[in-house]
Chains A and B, each alone.
Chain A
Amino acid sequence: MQLLGKEILGSQLILSALIIFIIIKTLISFNKKQITRLFFILWNFFWLIVLYFIFYPGFLVGLAKRLGVGRGVDLAIYVSVICLFYLIYKLFIKIEKIEKQITKIVREISIKNAK
């Protein structure tokens, strides 16, 4: 398929549609003030970079070759798996912390209202 004089692959089309969807969702969340301005900027910046690499993977391919990974896609997958693990770890810690805080609040209320 041709777009702006450039050959477009099916995978590029699907991925970019997904990313545009994510960016629109982020915009809606930002408008509803569910996320901070900093997160909004960083998050969109990240997806715009991904979008760029989908159409111009040259840099990724070169980097992957230099690191001995082979394909640019492989490098992207390795990096994202590591990032996901780290994110899950952070969420786990955060939930533990919130649980502790809830316990503290419930405990203090109960002691204050002792009958």
Chain B
Amino acid sequence: MSKKLVAAVIPAHNEALKIKKVIESVAKYVDLIVLVDDGSTDSTLESAKHPKAITLQHCINLGQGAAIQTGFDYLKKINPEVTITFDADGQFLGEEIPRMIEPILKNQADVVLGSRFLGKTINMPFFRKFVLKIGIFFTWIFSEIKLTDTHNGFRALNKKALHLINISQDRMAHASEIIDQIKRKKLSYVEVPVTVKYNLQSKKKGQKNRHSINIFIDLVSKKLN
């Protein structure tokens, strides 16, 4: 039997400084990288050139949720055995990919979710931890799934999950939406500990704590619609 295809979706918005390193660290462990440049105004797209990488470009900034779904839509035709999502800001470690995809290769789950609270966190600010815990609580209320980490961009999906999950939340609420769909579409899941590094740039560029309010509003309006 031929080797099972592993693909990674990396959504990126203005990550020219980090993207090269991130792609190189991911490329060692996957067969194909789909980089979705979400309307960057810097040289992210040029910096992302790699023999294993296919680049898709949103001509305007839509949001991380939209970028991930674009990657998923592209991959549906290729139909890889495993699809992972990986953040472009260098917070995750490429060497943890084999551990993330293992439950899928062994047919133990449809979706693997990375959890920084099961794993290691390096330099996580206290307030960030507090906001994330509130997020976990709301996901529990909305989706009735009790997880240890709900806004973690490190995930792995099997073929079934790739075709069933459809992100309609263009912005940051997609993380909660994915969990909601896991529940509604009856996909099986496991959490795997991952390391998340907090550095100065990711604190500046990544999700701001106040974004949690917008995520909450997006989710409530979605539930009411």
Contact = CB atoms under 8 A, between A and B. Distances in A.
A binds B: yes
Interface in B53-68: 54-60, 62, 66
A96 B225 contact: yes
Given A110-B56, A110-B58, A114-B56, A103 B73 contact: no
B60 A107 contact: no
B20 to A, nearest CB: 16
Contact of A103 (B36, B170, B225): B170
Interface SS of chain B: mixed
A111 B71 CA distance: 8
B74 A111 contact: yes
Interface of A is mostly: helix
A99 interface: yes
Interface residues of B, number: 17
A111 B60 contact: no
A79 interface: no
Given A114-B54, A114-B55, A115-B55, A107 B225 contact: no
Interface of B: 36, 54-60, 62, 66, 69-70, 73-74, 168, 170, 225
